[in-house]
Amino acid sequence: MIHGSVRNIMPFSKGMDGTKVVFWDLRDSFLFRLYRGNVEDARLDSILPHVDTVLDQICDLIDDALRDLVVLSICKAALEAFVWVLLDGGPSRAFSDSDIPMMEDDLNMLKDLFVADGEGLPRSLVQKKAEFAEQILSLFALQTGTVIQMLMTASEHISTGLDSRKHGRLCLGDAQTLVRVLCHKKDREASKFLKRQYQLPMSSGYFFIPQLDYPETQCFNLVLVPKRY
């Protein structure tokens, strides 16, 4: 069955339909399933057939002249959804060091889906769109102490008006991104830091309020309450 947003993809509005397809049509199979519980049992390879089916349906419905534009929109949204799971996936997602190689493999699979053995988007274009997701994974691969130090530095920049965050969007080294990484680390040092510094529960046991915060998507903004001394 083809969902409404797939049937109504014409006329195409740049930057809108990819988000609708991924964050609405594929929300159950992608957003709510990926890495839920643990990484090994909820990897991307079980989700990609759903994405591939939707891509085939869309490509059958649209003019060839629009195909790459629409597929690129879906590619961007899928990569944003991947980052959303890593940073805003909630208490059901917590990542250990041993999970990172599997997540890196999954991201490569997602990129390969849109390259389609040379029949899809140019690999250089997909690689460029995937850079932020790769950088987020690189943060998870860092030692917890390093991420904590980066967060403290970013927090100092906020207090001095040098915050790297622009227009409410997440940036690689800003405090909102770094604290999200710590919240999703399955790590005792991260948990102790979050509880001490922000009075948060164990990592991945925090609460969110809705915000239109992430580019082209609705995500969640972590409410930080610094400890009072």
Over the stretch 55-86, which tens digit does the pLDDT of each residue have? Answer: 888 888 888 888 899 999 999 999 999 999 99
The token duo for 215 is 């580019």
pLDDT value of residue 65: 84
- Model confidence over 78-131: pLDDT tens digits? 999 999 999 999 889 999 999 999 999 999 999 999 999 998 999 999 999 999
Q: Tell the residue number behind the tokens 């399933």, with chain if given.
A: 33
Residues in CB range of 179: below 8 A, 6 or more apart: 151, 194, 198, 222, 224
**3-class SS letters over the chain:** CCCHHHHCCCCCCCCCHHHHHHHHHCHHHHHCCCCCCCCCCCCHHHCHHHHHHHHHHHHHHCCHHHHHHHHHHHHHHHHHHHHHHHHHCCCCCCECHHHHHHHHHHHHHHHHHHHHHHCCCCHHHHHHHCHHHHHHHHHHHCCHHHHHHHHHHHHHHHHCCCCCCECCECCCCCHHHHHHHHHCECCHHHHHHHHHHHCCCCCCCCCEEEEEEECCEEEEEECCCCCCC
Among candidate residues 168, 169, 98, the one with its CA nearest the CA of residue 140: 98
Mean pLDDT of the chain: 80
What's the whole-model pTM score?
Answer: 0.80
